[in-house]
Structure 1
């Protein structure tokens, strides 16, 4: 029986995918095998030693102490693409809201409540202050062509925009899904110089923090409109505010409000609604649960942020799973120990990601505890787990 701790309210559509004869799920549970989380901050939480995996029902993992988990052999999963359509729809809305002054116009209309029969005439007289350009025929620059960026780019093409994309690390799957009408920018600077609208779809990391700063803003067209539904830290707020005041940036749409941005007239702050749809919550929960199950039941890893993708069809009943630091001769030491115990290996796969590696080893016979302990004692081994297929 696997024990799952839910750190947030998780969509029932996802939880229903846990077989009740194999899983116990609760918001308070001792010695959990895994944690299922959405937005709860785990940095200040003591993660029990029993935890083998943490699944984030969403893409970002800033609320999870990933480095600590890696050192303890805890696999951290996320769900890239599960909320892509929800964020894409909000990005398209952001394009329109940044152009047509719709939000400002709606707010102004509310001031006419007491005007009675004068309202229609006042509307006709006042509407010109909310004029804005159409997006058709304009150039959209999409920075980051992952699941969301590709969908935004494709839909913008269908809306009649000229779309240019930049992503030096675009995946094969993303490239296959990208419309042929999307032009490729060789450099970020090249994209910034030609775009009328810019939308950000990259993760927040050391290399991208504050990537939109005054140096980059100076390259942009005067009056550019910027949409950021990815992470607030991608934009240097002080430089952004200066550019708004100078008229370099016409409008900034962000899903990450803060006190300073709320003071700015031409900043549209959305209360982090990117993935706030019932469909996205269900998709993320389902994907997170299925990834957890595949790992707990079969040892396979997909969509982990700290350990490599590693999947092996299980053809024999006994499976050894080893997480280790990515150093030479780890596989050799493991297989030597198994050979000394007369354990025959039927299949093996080893993959690495940055500082860590992961091994799936299938054997013909069960592995005695003394061999497991010997493998665990090898310098560089982080966690050893055994699965017996019933």
Structure 2
């Protein structure tokens, strides 16, 4: 449908003059592929700079529309005197058309005056491998967790966060946020019901760091085995509670290392049948070591909050080591601190204000970094960026996303221990427990088991 022609306003003329009058060249069109627009005419950047200099807000690109801009931005073919589509892939490369299509690729048209505004994305500053990926398509602001406030996100369209950022009504109410990506496995820091009710898409990165967490578990278990004054009689029985992305690798590696593995996952057993699974009571009754890999839930048929509490520990006669690399509150930290057995812990209640008594007694104590491998972080960032692409129609090129690996074809304890020594991280945390967040945020990402 043809739009009524109108005269360009004074702002358009001033912008035109800044760019050498090139914007009026709709009669001698050159056609370029739409993905080459930015590179094809650097004067687009001049035009955007002129828009900035004309008094518009520094955080939004706004260009008043005349016929050429409006037609290009809205992709209206056959507009009188304006640009035309060419095979649905090419557009007129005059400066105004180029600017409009370029801005169209970056943002969205809003309001009755057909302004073009850039998508605004807030990124938690400690997410690795992301800087530079989104800047060609959006205005990106990197903030520390403590600076991601309701005021900061009010004008944001998307948030990319980690577990430290609580996304609920207190943060999001009154904002224009429509997408939240968390570069983590879990989502218990996000109020999913609130987001669902308000049409906010939430995306996480399931399985992205599963091999790294399995590496931490078996390295910590290896440290424990190496310092035991009295060895376990017979094959060690390893109870794995939660057999999802992480737990399934932990269990498989355990079998390859010669342990007797008990798999406990009530939701999976209910859905798939009980074969291959045991109950939590059987785990308590038979296990020498129990490791937890569940989400944190407080309601429903199988709540996991304080699943490992004083009663659990009292009902486990053979239990000698408890490991938690899931969520801090899956284990009652006070109960663990008062228990006579050994503890290997990466996820704590009330982080970063962790229980100092539990820290002192723990054999392995790390600052929530079990999943901090370079491969895992690459995968997590790639997964949320790809979801952001789908949501906004971006074409960001994330780091090469590898499928979550299940590890080497045949792991050995020697290879695991050579790949990672958790006692080094334990020594750092015990020396500076008040630096929990600094140690976590500045962690030197490690390679996975090769």
Query: Shared fold (TM-score greater than 0.5)?
Result: yes
Q: Would the aligned equivalents of 2:262 and 2:277 in 1 still touch at CA under 8 Å?
A: yes
Question: Which is higher, the Rg of structure 1 or of structure 2?
Answer: 2
Q: Would the aligned equivalents of 1:163 and 1:183 in 2 still touch at CA under 8 Å?
A: no
What residue in structure 2 maps to residue 225 of structure 1? 321
Change (3 A) 1:150 1:143: same
Which of 198, 207, 231 is 1:81 aligned to? 207
Q: Deviations over 1:95-122 (max 9, x none)?
A: 1123323xxxxxxxxxxxxxxxxxxxxx
Which of 148, 152, 156 is 2:250 aligned to? 152
For the pair 1:281 / 2:407, whether they are aligned, the reply is no
Change (3 A) 1:18 1:170: farther
For the pair 1:256 / 2:366, whether they are aligned, the reply is no
Segment drifting more, 27-36 vs 235-244: 27-36
Which of 160, 165, 184 is 1:58 aligned to? 184
SS where residue 155 of structure 1 aligns?
A: helix
Shift of 1:216: 1.9
Q: Would the aligned equivalents of 1:34 and 1:51 in 2 still touch at CA under 8 Å?
A: yes
Q: Would the aligned equivalents of 1:164 and 1:183 in 2 still touch at CA under 8 Å?
A: no
Which runs of 4 or more aligned residues in structure 1 lie more than 6 Å from their structure 2 counterparts after TM superposition? none
> Which aligned pairs between 1:272-311 and structure 2 lie closer than 5 A?
272-297=368-393
Counterpart-to-counterpart distance in 2, 1:68 and 1:147: 26
What residue in structure 2 maps to residue 201 of structure 1? 293
| Total equivalences in the alignment | 256
Shift of 1:197: 1.0
For the pair 1:161 / 2:259, whether they are aligned, the reply is yes
Counterpart-to-counterpart distance in 2, 1:216 and 1:183: 24
Structure 1: unaligned runs, 5 residues or longer: 102-129, 176-181, 245-249, 299-390
Q: Would the aligned equivalents of 1:17 and 1:290 in 2 still touch at CA under 8 Å?
A: no
What residue in structure 2 maps to residue 386 of structure 1? none
Change (3 A) 1:171 1:54: farther
Counterpart-to-counterpart distance in 2, 1:211 and 1:27: 36
Q: Deviations over 1:27-81 (max 9, x none)?
A: 2788332111124424554566321110000012343343432332212211110
Which of 139, 148, 157 is 2:237 aligned to? 139
Instruction: Return the TM-score normalized by structure 2.
Output: 0.51
Shift of 1:9: 3.2
Q: Would the aligned equivalents of 2:337 and 2:361 in 1 still touch at CA under 8 Å?
A: no
Instruction: Return the TM-score normalized by structure 1.
Output: 0.58
Give the structure with the larger strand fraction: 1
Counterpart-to-counterpart distance in 1, 2:269 and 2:125: 31
> Which aligned pairs between 1:305-384 and structure 2 lie closer than 5 A?
none
Shift of 1:229: 0.5
- After superposition, the CA RMSD in angstroms is 3.1
What residue in structure 1 maps to residue 279 of structure 2? 187
Change (3 A) 1:186 1:155: closer
Which of 128, 134, 139 is 1:11 aligned to? 128
Q: Would the aligned equivalents of 1:99 and 1:135 in 2 still touch at CA under 8 Å?
A: no
SS where residue 169 of structure 1 aligns?
A: helix
Q: Deviations over 1:155-201 (max 9, x none)?
A: 111111111101122399x98xxxxxx98333110122111111100
Q: Would the aligned equivalents of 1:227 and 1:253 in 2 still touch at CA under 8 Å?
A: yes
SS where residue 184 of structure 1 aligns?
A: coil
Shift of 1:276: 1.8
SS where residue 170 of structure 1 aligns?
A: helix
